[in-house]
């Protein structure tokens, strides 16, 4: 059974048809790249999967549960979808250290402190940022910020992790290491990443397929 399925999903913004009736099925352990020109609807598609945007046609199923069905008026909010999202702008808190940024999604869910430490340490090791754990976020390079942005959602063992253009290649590397690690936060199963990019060369480096 596919982990993520989109059935005739569409989204309009006034007269702009951002996404027009797309069908997509992402299988367990599959890495999927959405490739298309700027403005063709890649980010809107990922935002609808994450629940940050509401589809006005069609339905979205994640892990066998319908999370959005426009005709039935059903909509599960993002915090109940168990997904990860790496934002194009990275969305890193500037007043926190690297460790606290990666720990944040677990802290707000009141995960036990010892477990947070284990998961964050493992995630930082996988993105090769362990030695920067105590560094304030504003003192990071662009590449280091990207790795923090990738580590944070992976820490929560998401059912699927979405990312946008600038992170696609790093996401695949991280996902592959995660899938083969015995990390407690990998949950013994592989999370499904999907990315979007307008960069054809990057898409070729991250082909659709198994990790």
Residues that bind Mg ion (CB under 5 A): 42-43
In the complex, minimum distance from the CB of residue 194 to Mg ion, in angstroms, rounded to a whole number: 13
**What does DSSP say about strands 74-75 and 83-86: parallel, antiparallel, or unpaired?**
unpaired
Q: What is the DSSP letter of 149?
A: H
Nearer to ligand ADP, 41 or 84 (CB): 41
Establish if 18 lies at the interface with ligand ADP (CB under 6 A).
Answer: yes
**Stretch 53-92: interaction string toward ligand ADP, x if CB under 6 A:** ----------------------------------------
In the complex, minimum distance from the CB of residue 158 to Mg ion, in angstroms, rounded to a whole number: 20
Q: Which range of residues in 37-45, 61-69, 110-118, 182-190 is near ligand ADP by CB under 6 A?
A: 37-45
Nearer to Mg ion, 88 or 210 (CB): 88
The upper half-sphere exposure of residue 176, i.e. CA atoms within 13 Å in the direction of its Cβ, equals 10
Nearer to ligand ADP, 11 or 119 (CB): 11
Residue 47's φ and ψ, nearest 5 degrees, are -65, -35
Establish if 156 lies at the interface with ligand ADP (CB under 6 A).
Answer: no
Alpha-carbon distances, residue 24 vs 139, 197, 203 (angstroms): 40, 16, 17
- Contact predicate 165/198, CB 8 Å: yes
Establish if 197 lies at the interface with ligand ADP (CB under 6 A).
Answer: no
Sheet of 74-75, strand order? 16-26, 4-13, 57-62, 65-69, 74-75
In the complex, minimum distance from the CB of residue 129 to Mg ion, in angstroms, rounded to a whole number: 25
């Amino acid at each position: 059974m596919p982990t993520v399925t989109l059935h005739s999903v569409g989204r309009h913004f006034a007269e702009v048809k951002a996404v027009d009736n797309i069908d997509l099925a992402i299988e367990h352990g599959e890495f999927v790249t959405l490739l298309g020109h700027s403005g063709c609807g890649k980010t809107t598609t990922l935002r609808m999967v994450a629940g940050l945007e509401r589809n006005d046609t069609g339905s979205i199923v994640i892990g066998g549960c319908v999370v959005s069905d426009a005709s039935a008026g059903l909509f599960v909010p993002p915090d109940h979808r168990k997904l990860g999202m790496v934002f194009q702008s990275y969305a890193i808190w500037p007043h926190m250290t690297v460790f606290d940024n990666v720990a944040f999604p677990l802290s707000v869910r009141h995960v036990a402190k010892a477990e947070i430490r284990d998961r964050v340490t493992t995630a930082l090791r996988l993105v090769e940022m362990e030695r920067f754990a105590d560094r304030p976020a504003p003192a990071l390079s662009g590449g280091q910020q990207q790795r923090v942005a990738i580590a944070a959602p992976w820490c929560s063992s998401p059912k699927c992790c979405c990312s946008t253009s600038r992170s696609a290649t790093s996401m695949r590397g991280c996902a592959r290491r995660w899938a083969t690690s015995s990390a407690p936060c990998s949950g013994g199963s592989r999370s499904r990443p999907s990315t979007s990019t307008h960069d054809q060369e990057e898409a070729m480096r991250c082909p659709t397929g198994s990790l």
